């Protein structure tokens, strides 16, 4: 395969590749993808088809996936529609697409109930950013196309966006650090940035190196202000203001607020330096 193609974003292996890549990559065979939808609250996307393989990212409920192979062992190899990430998902977390999503979860987490009573045992817990097809509202509950009942005030139409992605990130304070995670049960540095920006309607790549290349314009550390992204090797943090950062990090093993100078001093002591600071468009 040509070096220009990033394996994380290119559905191609020596034995199999997406049909649209014919003539661009080398593979033993090419197949057209089959569209699937994530029906579990979240589905791990792993580097290899094994439960102990590295977690690269997570797909949230309602996300669409182009699947190019499903193994007898129950793994589906495909590409996420939202950010283009390629990897292996549990096949039982996917199903044929249902009605198009109309709403998204705006609460950090919300519960789905089997009927119109919040006293009923919930059937699942969904995370911020999950997508649902809502068919009607019954009082304070929204009813999904699959018959679940969800608190209506935990949802918003897909076309409605948050206006402050830093505030969205701050809602995750205390969430445990999880490499590849994208929910309040576990999240990593670039996952936090991606989830927060997506909530504001800003398309965002998944990994920190992708974000460093794709997002914003470079600025100097002396000009740091709220909403700027601070990158160093393998990590990204969000400036809350001139003196503090919010980031999911392995030092605290959580999403934490940290003094900028203290964080940078800790990095320098470990042999790391800031590689770039990027400013996004105004209004975020």
Digit-coded pLDDT (tens) for 111-161:
999 999 999 999 999 999 999 999 999 999 999 999 999 999 999 999 999
- pLDDT given at position 2: 42
Backbone angles phi, psi at 149, to 5 degrees: -115, 125
Q: Would you give the distance in Å from CA 167 to the centre of its chain? A: 17
User: What does the alpha-carbon distance between residue 175 and residue 153 come to, in Å, rounded to a whole number?
Assistant: 22
pTM (global) more than 0.85? yes
Write out pLDDT tens, residues 75-124: 999 999 999 999 999 999 999 999 999 999 999 999 999 999 999 999 99
Using alpha carbons, select from 41, 3, 241 the residue that is nearest to residue 128: 41
Give percent of the chain with pLDDT exceeding 70.
98
Mean pLDDT of the residues in the chain: 96
């Amino acid at each position: 395969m040509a070096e220009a193609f990033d394996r994380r974003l290119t559905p191609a292996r020596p034995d199999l590749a997406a049909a649209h890549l014919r003539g661009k990559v080398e593979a033993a065979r090419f197949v057209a993808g089959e569209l699937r939808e994530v029906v579990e609250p979240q589905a791990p996307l792993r580097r290899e088809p094994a439960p102990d393989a590295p977690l690269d990212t997570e797909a949230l409920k309602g996300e669409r996936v182009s699947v190019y192979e499903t193994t007898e062992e129950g793994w589906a190899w495909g590409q996420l529609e939202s950010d283009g990430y390629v990897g292996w998902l549990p096949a039982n977390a996917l199903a044929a697409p249902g009605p198009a999503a109309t709403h998204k979860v705006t609460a950090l987490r919300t519960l789905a109930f089997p009927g119109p009573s919040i006293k009923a045992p919930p059937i699942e817990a969904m995370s911020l950013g999950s997508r649902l097809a809502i068919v009607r509202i019954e009082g304070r509950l929204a009813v999904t196309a699959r018959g679940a009942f969800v608190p209506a005030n935990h949802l918003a139409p897909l076309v409605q966006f948050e206006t402050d992605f830093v505030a969205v990130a701050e809602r995750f304070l205390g969430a445990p650090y999880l490499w590849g995670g994208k929910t309040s049960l576990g999240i990593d540095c670039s996952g936090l940035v991606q989830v927060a920006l997506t909530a504001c309607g800003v398309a965002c790549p998944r990994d920190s190196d992708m974000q460093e290349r794709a997002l914003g314009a470079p600025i100097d550390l002396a000009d740091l202000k709220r909403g700027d992204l601070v990158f160093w090797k393998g990590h990204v943090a969000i400036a809350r203001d001139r003196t503090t950062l919010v980031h999911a990090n392995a030092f605290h093993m959580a999403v934490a607020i940290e003094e900028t100078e203290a964080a940078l001093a800790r990095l320098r002591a470990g042999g790391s330096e800031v590689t770039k600071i990027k400013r996004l468009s105004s209004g975020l």
